[in-house]
Amino acid sequence: MNSPQLPSYISRENVGPWHIYLQQVEKVAPLLDKALWPWVETLRRPKRALIVDVPIRLDNGEIAHYEGYRIHHNTSRGPGKGGVRYHQDVTLSEVMALAGWMTIKNAVVNVPFGGAKGGIRVDPRQLSLAELERLTRRYTSEIDMMIGPDKDIPAPDMNTNAQVMAWMMDTYSMNQGRTATGVVTGKPLSLGGSLGRPDATGRGVFVTAREAAKKLDLTILGARVAVQGFGNVGEASARMFAQAGAKIVAVQDVSATLYNPNGIDLVALKQYFAEHRTLLGAPDCELISAHDFWCVPCEFLVPAALEAQINQYNAACINARVIVEGANGPTTPEAEVILAERNVLVVPDVLANAGGVTVSYFEWVQDFSSFFWSEEEINQRLERIMAEAFQAIWQLAEERKLSLRTAAFVIGCSRVLEARSIRGLYP
Ligand code: GLU
């Protein structure tokens, strides 16, 4: 979903997500404790990166090859952790950046994981369910040496879900000759999945938005919300805003941009989407241009799709009070400067969307102990972790006059590099 203002010769690739991640690290490095400076280079390099060929037999008998990746960005604080993305535009740069953001994110919410990420450069809409299963199983076998319950634990990301995790868990288990539920999270409940995991990222987005609202004297009740993306993150966060009395005034996905200043009926929209697999033609909504989505007047703007969606070409028209980053890397550094000048508060991805991996952590703990918690307990613990992380970041941002992103990076990078420095070098 490239922004229409982006000239066609600037692809997401040469905007370069890894480059964006590096710029964020550069900004924070001088703010870290001097004792950590010798270790900053750790953050500028992935620990290890694997590129794999994933050949599968298509339903028509032909053989197709796809490029897959698994990156361990950092494992100083624990095993690698991060999702697997299936998308036609996935690149090494993107997966490296996503792994780097996982390192920071896991440290920000203080779960005992490093950062990892995987992906396959594939348009999953072009594959049948059987082809998708073969793709997933072959990819899992190819990255087998990278993953394991105490090594690196994949999870869902864009275009992957509980079924894909079940195939990954089964493939790994068959290769190992034992059932290892803890090798992935975001699994179906029947395989050791956790209650609350499907909604966890959206819930975290909502909780951080609510905390931000308190600081700015905004109320969720009656607030206008625009959401980009109607997948796992966008839909769940929109639903939680609506349940708390907010009005969802705009929803955008690859197929369409819908607008209704009186509030979109999300229940009806979800049903329409389930039936038609597109937002196009949804009832009681005005169809507006993809660009106009960014100019919709609202209190909360939730980008919950791809990287670099808020960029130098649309940041100046944004008419929101708070941006809550449901996606990873949705705002470019250039856009961030423009937003700061316009007094738009950005709740950064490494905090706002950390609810997913937080409940992944709960799932991993439950699998290890073979003891499962109630949904209420999970949601309460999640809300507490998210609210406390928000407070710590807000406080540091106030004290040192930093953006919330920089403050989050100071906290996250410090935790990673403290672990790194105290472990020392071996051999
Ligand atoms: N893919 C999600 C993220 O970007 C969740 C990762 C996980 O649960 O490991 O945070």
What confidence score (pLDDT) does residue 9 get? Answer: 40
Q: Is residue 187 among the annotated active site residues?
A: no
Task: Give the integer Cα–Cα distance in Å for 229 and 67.
Answer: 25
Question: Angle 421-422-426 (CA atoms, 0-180°, nearest 5)?
Answer: 80
- How much distance in Å is there from the Cα of 106 to the middle of ligand 1? 9
- How much distance in Å is there from the Cα of 353 to the middle of ligand 1? 8
- How much distance in Å is there from the Cα of 288 to the middle of ligand 1? 31
Kindly report the pTM of this predicted structure: 0.96
What confidence score (pLDDT) does residue 14 get? Answer: 53
Kindly report the CATH number that applies to the domain delimited by 47-180: 3.40.50.10860
**Which ranges in the chain are annotated with CATH 3.40.50.720?**
200-352
Nearest atom (ligand 1) to Cα of 185: 8
User: What is the best residue among 86, 102, 168 to mutate for testing ligand 1's pocket, by most ligand atoms within 8 Å of CB?
Assistant: 102
User: What is the best residue among 71, 169, 360, 382 to mutate for testing ligand 1's pocket, by most ligand atoms within 8 Å of CB?
Assistant: 360
Residue 242 token pair: 């609506």
- How much distance in Å is there from the Cα of 154 to the middle of ligand 1? 8
What confidence score (pLDDT) does residue 4 get? Answer: 46
Nearest atom (ligand 1) to Cα of 153: 9
> Atom 9 of ligand 1 has which residue's CA nearest to it?
82
Nearest atom (ligand 1) to Cα of 98: 4
What are the 10-residue block averages of pLDDT along the chain, 427 residues in total? 45 69 96 98 95 98 98 98 97 95 98 98 97 99 98 98 98 98 98 98 98 98 98 97 98 97 97 96 96 97 96 96 98 97 98 98 98 98 98 98 98 98 97
3-class SS at 201?
Answer: helix
User: What is the best residue among 197, 201, 306, 351 to mutate for testing ligand 1's pocket, by most ligand atoms within 8 Å of CB?
Assistant: 201
- How much distance in Å is there from the Cα of 317 to the middle of ligand 1? 30
Which residues, in sequence order, are CB contacts of 369 under 8 Å at separation 6+?
A: none
> Atom 8 of ligand 1 has which residue's CA nearest to it?
357
What confidence score (pLDDT) does residue 15 get? Answer: 52
Task: Give the integer Cα–Cα distance in Å for 304 and 307.
Answer: 9
- How much distance in Å is there from the Cα of 83 to the middle of ligand 1? 5
Nearest atom (ligand 1) to Cα of 157: 1
What confidence score (pLDDT) does residue 16 get? Answer: 82
Given CATH 3.40.50.720, say whether it is the number of domain 200-352: yes
Q: Taking CB atoms and a 6 Å cutoff, what residues make up the pocket around ligand 1? A: 81-83, 155, 157, 185, 328, 353, 356-357, 360
Chain-centroid distance, C-alpha 338: 23
**Which ranges in the chain are annotated with CATH 3.40.50.10860?**
47-180
Q: DSSP readout, 286-340? A: EE--TTGGGG---SEEEE-S-TT-B-TTTGGG---SEEE--SSS-B-HHHHHHHH
Q: State how far the alpha carbon of 263 is from the alpha carbons of 181, 234, 239, in Å.
A: 42, 16, 12
Q: What is the DSSP letter of 181?
A: G
* Residue in 81, 117, 187, 247 annotated catalytic: 117
User: What is the best residue among 151, 197, 357 to mutate for testing ligand 1's pocket, by most ligand atoms within 8 Å of CB?
Assistant: 357
- How much distance in Å is there from the Cα of 62 to the middle of ligand 1? 33
Task: Give the integer Cα–Cα distance in Å for 212 and 91.
Answer: 33
Task: Give the integer Cα–Cα distance in Å for 291 and 318.
Answer: 10
Nearest atom (ligand 1) to Cα of 154: 9
217 phi, psi to nearest 5 deg: 60, 35
